[in-house]
Amino acid sequence: MHAFTVKILDLWKTYDGQRQILNGVSLTVEPEETILIRGRSGSGKTTLLSIIGCIDTPTKGSILLNGYDASKLSQKELAKIRLKRIGIVFQSHNLIHDLTVFDNVLLPLKFAKSKDGVDRVNKLLETFEILDLAHNKPAEISGGERQRVAIARALANNPSILLADEPTSALDMDNCNIVTQAFLKANREFGTTVIIASHDLDLDNHVHTKYVLRDGQIFEGD
Ligand SMILES: Nc1ncnc2c1ncn2[C@@H]1O[C@H](COP(=O)(O)OP(=O)(O)O)[C@@H](O)[C@H]1O
Ligand SMILES: [Mg+2]
């Protein structure tokens, strides 16, 4: 199981030296928690997720990953955290078109030089009920299936946190429910902390905590 806490302390993000997007966001995500961050388009959800995922840096404030200040880690240490500790799912699946479902999910395991790659991929495809699509290419499967492949790929190296940015907004309602269930299953089966950002999704009783980003600040609740 994972014991990985994400702590955000008084985070600020300003673009072009003047456009303030985040104005003092503080948030603690406990290990194995599932949270939903809502907020209108432009409220800073992607910015916040990118900072948590160590692909962007704050203007001010800190982000502690398991107690380590991300700003004090070397590029090498950050790359390792991104590969092993953090999985990301985007709005559009970002799968590699020329690779099969199986090989897409295997790829992060190859990067990490993992030895149990094939078993892990089979287990993930089974968990998300896409094992029968293993040899298909992304173009040959549905949008909901592609997002489940993206979830499986994000979980390949058994990360401690799974970040999802508008993961269902390109899907119809049925697929939206299926993909939402897949995130909850990732949390249940693998103990992964799940952080979902969405402008429209309402997971009501399914997540541990709901937050909303408004005017550059974060509030608990709707
Ligand atoms: N690289 C960037 N440079 C300048 N402005 C940006 C950049 N990225 C995002 N923004 C602006 O920051 C605001 C918040 O964007 P974003 O975090 O994508 O919001 P959300 O994901 O909630 O829609 C938007 O007004 C957007 O135009
Ligand atoms: Mg966004």
Report the CATH number that the domain containing residue 182 is assigned in CATH.
Answer: 3.40.50.300
Look up residue 164 and give its two tokens: 């999802």
Nearest CA to ligand 1 atom 26: 42
Q: State the average pLDDT over residues 187-200.
A: 92
Is 183 contained in some domain? yes
Confidence band of 3 (pLDDT split at 50, 70, 90): confident
The model's pTM: 0.94
Q: Compute the half-sphere exposure of residue 20: CA atoms within 13 Å on the CB side of its CA.
A: 11
Is 70 contained in some domain? no
How many folded domains does the chain comprise?
1
Model confidence over 123-144: pLDDT tens digits? 999 999 999 999 999 999 999 9
Ligand 2 ion: Cβ-proximal residues, 5 Å cutoff: 45-46
- Rounded to the nearest angstrom, the gap between the alpha carbon of residue 151 and the centroid of all alpha carbons in its chain is 8
Report the separation in Å between the CA atom of 219 and the middle of ligand 1, taken as the mean of its atom positions.
19
Contact 124/186 with Cβ under 8 angstroms?
no
Please identify, by atom number, the ligand 1 atom nearest to the C-alpha of residue 165: 21
- Structural domain of 175: 32-55+75-220
Report the separation in Å between the CA atom of 167 and the middle of ligand 1, taken as the mean of its atom positions.
17
Is 67 contained in some domain? no
Look up residue 74 and give its two tokens: 């070397």
Model confidence over 21-53: pLDDT tens digits? 999 999 999 998 999 999 999 999 999 999 999
**Distance (Å) of CA 190 to CA 83, 155, 201:** 17, 9, 23
Is 21 contained in some domain? no
Is 184 contained in some domain? yes
Please identify, by atom number, the ligand 1 atom nearest to the C-alpha of residue 199: 22
User: CB 62: neighbour CB atoms within 10 A?
Assistant: 14
